[in-house]
């Protein structure tokens, strides 16, 4: 690393690190308040690969001199990366810079964002997944224009062939004979047949390429199954990765502050129950966790994992939770719940911006005003003591807080931290791999060295989450904090409007 540059992978004061939880969007958001150049980075990857990713860098200080962005594929590394691109200022938006980068391959990328200011220079790594999730449609007008031009070229081509055969052997000043006329007509017919066959072959090739893209290149979510089995008085959640072709290319997992998997359960359709649990691994494809005392019902499972490649993903599956058993306690083989498991039952009051947390504590949502889809915002919350002073928050799995965001129809689910939605576990992987001699395997010890627990009085720190709602609709937000050794959850509802068309 060049002198004067620091690679900032741990968020300021806290080190959020759960795996990226993306359902309904691939956008990555990362924010750090670390001096000398605090920044917020939003990466919107393309829906096709290769494709152009849009990158917005908002520098949260003055004196900006230059902002550069560099995409690095996990296989190529820094040695195989192109030169960085310079981000350009956005007119009318102070300290906002924009760039477009080509993501040429599928898989995990790290985008190195370097901000040069009069106060110093910082480089941050923002991981993002490059996946083909859509096919670009042909606009009707463009299709009509291309058909017209193609028809004209077809007619011109066969006309040129006919003229060449008919007139190519005619002496200057003479007219073609009847035989030459018929030979020219035969040449036009033969050329038309040959060109038609060529066009038919091209169409077959195009359809085959499109079919290969749809079946083999477009991203398909990893299939998994979820079930609950009863063992005495204990209910056990079992998750199994199912897709056979995925198993052949399933890179190893890396722990995120000691957890290989972070699972959220949301009861459907009312979204009145949330559980945040951490299964243990039993075999390569199986995970199991003891369920907390959740009410029975139909649930949706969201399981976050991060791979050694830096690729992070969310596995989803429905699961039916039976009523709590009344049998005898399990024997010595009882599966103990993870000490960081938490759960919540309840609904927010309609339109409420305050939520009671128990023991006189309350959480207030400082609403940023009307929320609009595809527009960056900051979700800010305060936890207050009964007398109104800020409560002292304790680290909950190395973080000041967690937030789960879900649209009412399940089309969007996001697991947020104070540093955004970007996976810090993936950031740690990319930092390790960006060294001069990257290791072949990532070990838990390597990840633990990169981040430290927060220290000092945390009551004065605001609890905020940078975010960008990907779609309009009605959302529910669960915000988890830890005070006095207990995890507490605030819950809020909000409406997100559609972005006005330009």
In this predicted model, what pLDDT tens digit does every residue of 340-355 receive, in sequence order?
Answer: 999 999 999 888 899 9
> What pLDDT does 255 receive?
83
In this predicted model, what pLDDT tens digit does every residue of 54-113 receive, in sequence order?
Answer: 999 999 888 999 999 999 998 888 888 889 999 999 999 989 999 999 999 988 999 999
pLDDT bucket at 335, cuts 50 / 70 / 90: confident
Q: Is residue 19 part of a domain?
A: no
Domain end call among 130, 154, 170: 130
Q: Give the count of domains, the chain.
A: 2
> Are 236 and 346 members of one domain?
yes
439's enclosing H/E stretch is none
309-323: average pLDDT: 93
Percent of the chain having pLDDT more than 70? 90
Domain end call among 107, 130, 153: 130
pLDDT bucket at 198, cuts 50 / 70 / 90: very high
Q: Average pLDDT over the chain, rounded to whole?
A: 86
pLDDT bucket at 8, cuts 50 / 70 / 90: very low
Residue range(s) defining the domain that contains residue 75? 27-130
Check pLDDT > 80 for residue 16: no
> What pLDDT does 11 receive?
32
> Are 260 and 126 members of one domain?
no
User: Greater confidence, 183 or 249?
Assistant: 183
C-beta of residue 123 within 8 angstroms of C-beta of residue 114: yes
In this predicted model, what pLDDT tens digit does every residue of 142-183 receive, in sequence order?
Answer: 999 999 999 999 999 999 999 998 888 888 888 888 888 899
C-beta of residue 97 within 8 angstroms of C-beta of residue 398: no
Q: Is residue 137 part of a domain?
A: no
> Are 243 and 387 members of one domain?
yes
> What pLDDT does 453 receive?
53
Q: Is residue 371 part of a domain?
A: yes
Q: Give CA–CA dist 447/260, Å, rounded.
A: 12
In this predicted model, what pLDDT tens digit does every residue of 33-43 receive, in sequence order?
Answer: 888 889 999 99
Contacts by 2-5, CB closer than 8 A, 24 or more apart: 4/120, 4/121, 5/114, 5/121, 5/122, 5/123
In this predicted model, what pLDDT tens digit does every residue of 253-296 receive, in sequence order?
Answer: 888 777 889 999 999 999 999 999 999 998 888 999 999 999 99
CA dihedral defined by 21, 269, 320, 487, rounded to 10 degrees? 50
24 token code pair: 């309904």
Give Cβ neighbours of residue 468 (< 8 Å, ≥ 6 apart).
27, 29, 42, 374, 375, 376, 377
Domain end call among 95, 130, 165: 130
> What pLDDT does 170 receive?
84
> What pLDDT does 405 receive?
96
Buried/exposed 166-205: b ≥16 CB within 10 Å, e otherwise: beeeeeeeeebeeebeebbeebbeebbeeeeeeeeeeeee
C-beta of residue 496 within 8 angstroms of C-beta of residue 475: yes
pLDDT bucket at 427, cuts 50 / 70 / 90: confident
Q: Give CA–CA dist 483/497, Å, rounded.
A: 34
Return the residue matching tokens 């060109």. 195
295: which DSSP letter? P
pLDDT bucket at 21, cuts 50 / 70 / 90: very low
Helix 178-212 × helix 140-167 angle, to 10°: 150
Check pLDDT > 50 for residue 19: no
19: which DSSP letter? P
CATH code: domain of residue 356: 2.60.40.10
Check pLDDT > 50 for residue 50: yes
> What pLDDT does 223 receive?
82
CATH code: domain of residue 40: 2.60.40.1930
Q: Is residue 355 part of a domain?
A: yes
Check pLDDT > 60 for residue 18: no
Give Cβ neighbours of residue 378 (< 8 Å, ≥ 6 apart).
368, 464, 465, 466, 467
Q: Is residue 450 part of a domain?
A: yes
pLDDT bucket at 210, cuts 50 / 70 / 90: confident
Of 226, 237, 157, nearest to 198 by C-alpha is 157
**Is residue 83 exposed (0-12), middle (13-18) or buried (19+ Cβ within 10 Å)?**
exposed
> What pLDDT does 10 receive?
35
Q: Is residue 293 part of a domain?
A: yes
> What pLDDT does 479 receive?
96
Of 325, 323, 321, nearest to 267 by C-alpha is 321
Q: Is residue 120 part of a domain?
A: yes
Q: Is residue 61 part of a domain?
A: yes
> What pLDDT does 43 receive?
95
């Amino acid at each position: 690393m060049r002198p004067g540059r620091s690679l900032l992978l741990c968020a300021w004061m806290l080190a959020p690190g759960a795996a990226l939880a993306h359902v309904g969007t691939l956008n990555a958001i990362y924010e750090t308040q670390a001096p000398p150049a605090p920044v917020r980075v939003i990466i919107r990857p393309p829906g096709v690969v290769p494709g152009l990713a849009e990158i917005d860098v908002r520098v949260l200080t003055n004196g900006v001199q230059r902002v550069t962005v560099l995409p690095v594929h996990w296989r190529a590394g820094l040695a195989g990366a192109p030169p960085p691109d310079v981000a350009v200022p956005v007119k009318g938006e102070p300290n906002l810079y924009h760039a477009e980068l080509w993501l040429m391959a599928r898989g995990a990328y790290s985008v190195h964002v370097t901000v040069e200011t009069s106060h110093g220079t910082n480089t941050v790594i923002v991981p993002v997944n490059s996946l083909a999730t859509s096919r670009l449609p042909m606009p009707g007008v463009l299709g009509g224009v291309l058909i017209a031009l193609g028809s004209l070229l077809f007619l011109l081509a066969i006309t040129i062939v006919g003229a060449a055969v008919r007139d190519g052997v005619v002496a200057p000043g003479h007219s073609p004979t009847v035989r030459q006329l018929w030979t020219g007509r035969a040449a036009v017919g033969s050329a038309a047949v040959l060109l038609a066959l060529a066009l038919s072959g091209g169409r077959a090739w195009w359809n085959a390429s499109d079919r290969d893209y749809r079946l083999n290149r477009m991203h398909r979510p990893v299939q998994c199954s979820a079930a609950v089995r009863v063992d005495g008085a204990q209910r056990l959640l079992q998750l199994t990765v199912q897709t056979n072709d995925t198993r052949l290319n399933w890179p190893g997992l890396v722990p995120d502050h000691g957890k290989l998997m972070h699972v959220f359960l949301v009861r459907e359709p009312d979204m009145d129950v949330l559980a945040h649990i951490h299964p243990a691994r039993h075999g390569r494809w199986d995970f199991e966790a003891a369920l907390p005392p959740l009410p029975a019902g139909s649930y949706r499972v969201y399981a976050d994992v991060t791979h050694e490649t830096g690729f992070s993903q969310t596995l989803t599956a429905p699961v039916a939770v039976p009523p709590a058993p009344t049998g005898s306690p399990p024997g010595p083989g009882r599966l103990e719940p993870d000490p960081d498991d938490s759960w919540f039952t309840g609904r927010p009051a309609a339109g409420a911006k305050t939520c009671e947390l128990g023991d006189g504590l309350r959480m207030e949502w400082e609403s940023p005003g009307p929320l609009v889809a595809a527009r960056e915002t900051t979700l800010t919350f305060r936890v207050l003591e009964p007398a109104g002073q800020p409560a002292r928050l304790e680290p909950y799995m190395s973080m000041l807080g967690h937030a789960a965001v879900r649209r009412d129809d399940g089309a969007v689910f996001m697991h947020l931290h104070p540093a955004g939605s970007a996976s810090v576990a993936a950031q740690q992987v990319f930092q390790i791999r960006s060294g001069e001699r990257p290791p072949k395997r990532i070990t838990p010890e390597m990840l633990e060295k990169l981040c430290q627990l927060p220290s000092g009085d945390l009551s004065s720190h605001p609890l905020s989450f940078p975010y960008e709602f990907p779609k309009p609709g009605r959302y529910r937000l669960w915000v988890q904090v830890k005070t006095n050794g207990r995890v507490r959850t605030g819950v809020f509802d909000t409406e997100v409007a559609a972005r006005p068309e330009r």
